[in-house]
Amino acid sequence: MKINKDNTDIMTAFFSQLEKIAKKDKNVIFLTADHGAWALAKFKKNLKNQYINMGISEQNMVSVAAGMALNKKKVFIFSITPFVTQRCLEQIKIDLCFPCLPVTIVGNGSSLTYASHGTSHQAMEDIPIMRSLPNLKIINPADNNSAKLSVDLAYQSNQPVYIKLDKGFFKDLNFSRQELSKGFVKRNNKGVCIITTGSMIHEISEIKKYLEKNKIKVSTIYIYLIKPLNKKKIANLIKKNSTLITIEEQHVDGGIGSQICEIISDYNLKIPIKRYGIKDFYSKRYGDRNWLRKVYNLDVEFLKKNILSWLKKINK
Amino acid sequence: MNINLTDKSKQIRKSVLDIVFNSKSGHIGGSLSCVDILVSLFYGKNLKFDPKQPNLKNRDRLIISKGHASAAFYSILSSLGYFNKKELETYCKNNTRLATHLNKDVPGVEFDTGSLGHGLGIGCGLAYSARLNKEKYKTYVLISDGELYEGSTWEALLFANNFKLNNLIIIVDRNKQIVMDKTEDCMILDPVADKLRSFGFNTIETDGHSIKKLNEVFKKIKKLKNIKPTAIIANTIKGKGVSFMEGNVKWHHSVPNQEEYEKAKAELD
């Protein structure tokens, strides 16, 4: 049975799109700090002159990409998320963001993807950190269509872009490119609004069904472009809702929950909000992604019940 | 010609001293150590550049990775006419373009530098893509020897060797001092030449204060038909030109008082 229309994983979708663009434009250069992907083998084979394995040298990879961007190259750099965002954070700040060079950072293994690999490979801090960098766009795709669009948006961008690229097979979300290009997608307008980003969107339908069974009207917002976020538009949309819930598989402080709180404050809205995300601690026990989500209270069963009990409590 | 260039060096050194004294900021020691290198590159006609067209397509690219040498580099640029010398008086004043570390907004500055260990990677990216673009210009990167402590510098050296970037020239301002210590007294760097040679570089050591020798080296490497990147180790003295600053760790970023200023100025005259 097909999981999605392409019957392919999100990385294959991403790299197929990148290869398509790179074939047409020889200025597209792909650098990897020795991180591979099955889908990347084709790119490497077909576009030898546009591909470099830099070795395990993330800092130099960013600086080299900046130097190439000065010479009008459109460079995509790639590694496991914490390595390509945190090991070389200063290079990202000074060599890419400050001069505003159009280099795309592709972090692979979004959030808890590399759950059993340990804390070194997990990426729960990237959004709070990267969100603080001026000039950087942040895109968080969650299916093949949004992953392909992220390649197009990054290619067209005149400024640095960070793409938080997940791993594995995801159902099609059926959001149009037009909708996604606006930065976020809202469904319904009334009741409780669940706001989420990245692959947690795939968990929302079950939570929504559960709440609706309990006679609670639910609307949803999927945030695709984390930065820049169209704050004014979101403020206008969420003020129609009675209550807000944010769910994200990343550090709860500094992620989209924090962004929504900032909007509430900036636009003087008075809406109750509950944030779910990874709490401020490192688990010293490991398992698969679903197991680790349970540790951080991000599994659907916990969320369903906890949200319902919170809603009952605030509506008393 | 060399007499003129020596005079030019003196003039630039005086400008460095004035900038630091007037603004009460800047890095005097590392600025004075690289003055002769910069004079040789620009006034010795070893670089392809045009102050009237700072973005000239075929200009050689010079990345000053030791961005703290801004007092020296801005003095050279203004002296060449990249911008008005009067602007040097704004150094570190409110709303200036001229901070203690280099700013790409200033004509002639190829990249914003300040944090050490970035410039060589940028230079590698420029040199590699210039080759892809079939562009003939050279990329020069001036690094401080302190940058040899940064891991990212060695990552970049590996890259330059791997791709045999013969259009890349690194100049190491080997003044043997960092902020608080002499390099060999805190964390040994030597033998720098052997290390760079073993990393695949065509390595040349020279006196970084002899404009004659620097000119010879820059001219010689242009004639070399090699497939290697080049590293020039310019042996220099931090604080060069002012006797009480030379080799004294105090003068990494100290500001002279009135008496010291006058003494230094008299020595530079």
For A8, which DSSP code?
-
Give chain A positions within 8 Å (CB) of B119: 63
Residue in A55, A71, A95 closest to B118 by CB: A95
CB of B125 within 8 Å of a chain A CB? The answer is yes
Give me the half-sphere count of Cα atoms (radius 13 Å) on the Cβ side of residue A203.
Answer: 21
CATH number of the domain residue B173 falls in: 3.40.50.970
CB of A84 within 8 Å of a chain B CB? The answer is no
CB of B112 within 8 Å of a chain A CB? The answer is yes
Domain that holds residue B111: 2-268
Residue of chain A nearest B139, judged by CA positions:
A67
How would residue B225 be classed by pLDDT, with cut points 50, 70 and 90?
confident
Mean pLDDT over residues A43-61, rounded? 96
The whole-angstrom distance between B230's CA and the closest CA on chain A is 18
How would residue B2 be classed by pLDDT, with cut points 50, 70 and 90?
very low
Q: Tell me which residue of A44, A40, A33 sits closest to A82, measured CA to CA.
A: A33
For B59, which DSSP code?
P
Determine contact, residues A280/A274, Cβ cutoff 8 Å: no
CB atoms within 10 A of CB B180: 9
**Could A71 and B130 be called an inter-chain contact, meaning their C-beta atoms sit closer than 8 Å?**
yes
**Could A57 and B158 be called an inter-chain contact, meaning their C-beta atoms sit closer than 8 Å?**
yes
Helices (H), A5-158: 10-24, 40-46, 58-70, 81-85, 89-91, 126-130, 144-156
**Could A90 and B159 be called an inter-chain contact, meaning their C-beta atoms sit closer than 8 Å?**
no
CB of B120 within 8 Å of a chain A CB? The answer is yes
CA distance A158 to A154: 8
CB of A69 within 8 Å of a chain B CB? The answer is yes
Residue A299 pLDDT > 70: yes
CATH homologous superfamily of A10-165: Thiamin diphosphate (ThDP)-binding fold, Pyr/PP domains (3.40.50.970)
ipTM value, please give it.
Answer: 0.94
**Could A67 and B133 be called an inter-chain contact, meaning their C-beta atoms sit closer than 8 Å?**
no
CA distance A46 to A27: 15
Per-residue model confidence as pLDDT tens digits over B119-173:
999 999 999 999 999 999 999 999 999 999 999 999 999 999 999 999 999 999 9
**Could B129 and A71 be called an inter-chain contact, meaning their C-beta atoms sit closer than 8 Å?**
yes
Q: Tell me which residue of B171, B188, B167 sits closest to B60, measured CA to CA.
A: B167
- Residues ≥6 apart with Cβ < 8 Å to A155: A21, A25, A28, A74, A104
The pTM assigned to this predicted structure is 0.96
- Residues ≥6 apart with Cβ < 8 Å to A201: A142, A173, A222
- Residues ≥6 apart with Cβ < 8 Å to A205: none
Q: Tell me which residue of A75, A113, A126, A115 sits closest to A96, measured CA to CA.
A: A75
The number of domains in chain B is 1
CATH 3.40.50.970 in chain A: give the residue spans.
10-165
Q: Exposure string (b/e) for B247-263, b if CB count within 10 Å is 16 or more?
A: bebebbbbebeeebbee
Mean pLDDT over residues A93-122, rounded? 95
**CATH architecture of the domain with residue range A183-314:** 3-Layer(aba) Sandwich (3.40)
Q: Tell me which residue of B213, B216, B170 sits closest to B192, measured CA to CA.
A: B170
- Residues ≥6 apart with Cβ < 8 Å to B225: none
Test the A interface: residue of B61, B118, B149 with most A CBs within 10 Å:
B118
Peptide bond into A160 cis (omega under 30): no
- Sign of the torsion angle spanned by Cα atoms B73, B79, B83, B85: positive
pLDDT at A228: 97
**Could A49 and B112 be called an inter-chain contact, meaning their C-beta atoms sit closer than 8 Å?**
no
CB of A94 within 8 Å of a chain B CB? The answer is yes
